[in-house]
Chain A
Amino acid sequence: MLNFYQAINDKLKNSNSKCYVYYDETHYYPEMYENIEKFNSILKDYSANKIVFFTGKSFYAYCGIFSILLSGNVWVPVNPELPEKRIIEMIQLANPSVILIDRDIPSKIKSFIEERAIRIVNVNNIIKSNSKSSVSLNHIKKNDTAYIMFTSGSTGIPKGVPMTHKNFINFIENAINILPFKTQEVFSDFHDLGFDISIFYLFCCVLTESAFAPFMKREELFFPIDHIIQNKITVWSSVPSAISRIMTMRPDENIHNSIRIMFLCGEPFRLDVLKYCYNNLKVKNIYNFYGLTETGVENFYHYCSINDLIRFKKKGFVPIGKPLPGNNIKISSNKELLLSGCQITPGYIGNIAQDRFELIDNTRWFHTGDIIEKFEDVYFCKGRLDTQVKLSGYRVELMDVETHLRNIEGISDSVCFVNNSTLHCAVETSGSIDEKKIVYLLKKELPSYMIPKKYFYLKCFPKNKNGKIDRNFITKQFLKT
């Protein structure tokens, strides 16, 4: 048993505070713990088993997630809104014992699950039932997998990233030490639970006896201010672009809100957005974090100050700051950031992409693929070495999208690129192909953030001296238009 989980269990069990707020719907910790025990009546029969959590956001979703973790099982979040094919690939990679659902499963996914004799349990039946089982923390071992999240893979199939308890606990302990939390905060839950920023608010929320405030509707994600104000959110976490959208719509307005702490990560954080956070949103404590799914959520942090607006003016961005305790860094000759320490994943599911890990002087290092540069006493992330990009905070392997485009009849090749945070693509096609058809076919395979928004057509892609597709030429040519 780990002290960390003892603390989590104590808070969940003994707090009387509000744990959930969504407009008129509120719940308190005693009710949450009762439901955790209900989930445990099913989960106690499993130990270190993978449990796919195929549900939307709700009060009961949080109960289920904590029950999975406290029972020593592995939480595998799979968003039901993803395309069927992607869902099946994730389930196949995770190879779970149980799938917890809150809705009817599409027939294709259902038959896939049934063929593998995976147990399906409906969350609503667990909640309705009177069956409960006391939580025992004895099954939790620090080197066991706590959760599995998925990142985009260059082959067109997502990569499963297991994280042990030890891997992510170091990050949470740092976050609790660094951020000026009080008790009874209200934490935003803005992104998909399968985006590992969820680890931050799931654990920090409970450890501070605070409440979750989920963003569930698409319109709330598009313009979150009304939700922030109405639910009195005090701790905000998201990618910076969520704030820049508000800035686009209300550039000059002072927006009165209750956010005290802002935890931003996952994308370059522009100085004009920082200025807006200070001047228009009046947030006092703003942090920029940097990390990867494979390296335990976050590994660097920077506590912003109003002076950053002048100090980093030439850079145009907020730095990623300094490494969090427990993380070691190395910068290779080509300026790539390598990370080692207790937060590094044991490896991808299926032992793929072994070249991302390197043993140097008996230490296991992870190649982040990010280019890093030191300025005075802080670090800046300067981009990628490969073709990965960040879209809405998700790491997207362009080759993943390109592979799916090439699979479409009539498209012989494709090049994807990003302009103004929007994914574009050039396709090589001898005939005429309808953009609507491309989008329709891609939607069957990929999540919406991976679907290009603008399409360009070429009969034959230009090649460079080595006979390879001249990606730079194609990108520049279309950016001109």
Chain B
Amino acid sequence: MVDHNIKEIFLNIFDDDNITFDTSIHNYEKWDSLCHAKIIVALEKKFGIKFSFSEITLFTRVKNIQEYLSKKGLIQC
């Protein structure tokens, strides 16, 4: 299940609560570069962290974001 914090961020940005693990920049039309910037800013604010440039490039799928935050102990799987 997608973590509720991530769900909330996506809901605020996309006005859509049908986000799944597989939602990605490749299959979700609304997820454009502007929204990507908003997601990164919202995640950093929410979890009080700063992603590296290469990490930002990897966050192209909800699953990747959740796995990263889980590994860092910021959310529970």
Contact = CB atoms under 8 A, between A and B. Distances in A.
B37 A226 contact: no
B30 interface: yes
Interface in B3-60: 15, 25-26, 29-30, 32-34, 36-38, 40-41, 53-54, 56-58, 60
A248 B57 CA distance: 15
- Chain A interface mostly helix, strand, loop or mixed? helix
Contacts of A220: 57
Interface in A241-255: 241-242, 245, 248-249
Contact of A226 (B15, B32, B40, B57): B57
A249 B56 contact: yes
Interface in A282-305: none
Contacts of A134: none
Given A225-B53, A249-B40, A448 B29 contact: yes
Nearest to B36: A222
A249 B41 contact: yes
Given A222-B25, A245-B37, A248-B41, A453 B53 contact: no
A245 B53 contact: no
Contacts of A221: 33
Interface string A437-470: 0010001000010010110000000000000000
B30 A453 contact: yes
A229 interface: yes
A226 B52 CA distance: 9
Given A249-B41, A421-B34, A219 B54 contact: no
A451 B29 contact: yes
A422 interface: yes
Nearest to A443: B29
B48 to A, nearest CB: 16
Contacts of B37: 222-223, 245, 248-249
B53 A223 contact: yes
Nearest to B52: A226
A242 B44 CA distance: 20
Contacts of B58: 219
Contacts of B38: 248
A421 B37 CA distance: 14
Given A248-B41, A249-B41, A222 B33 contact: yes
Contacts of A227: 57
A453 B56 contact: no
A218 interface: yes
A218 B54 contact: no
Interface of B: 15, 25-26, 29-30, 32-34, 36-38, 40-41, 53-54, 56-58, 60
Kindly list the 4 A-B residue pairs having the minimum CB-CB distance in the complex, ordered from nearest: A248-B37, A226-B53, A222-B36, A222-B33
20 contacts: A218-B25, A219-B58, A219-B60, A221-B33, A223-B36, A226-B54, A226-B57, A227-B57, A241-B33, A241-B34, A242-B33, A245-B37, A248-B38, A249-B40, A249-B41, A249-B56, A420-B34, A421-B34, A453-B32, A454-B15
Given A220-B57, A223-B56, 6 more contacts: A225-B53, A245-B36, A249-B41, A453-B30, A453-B32, A454-B15
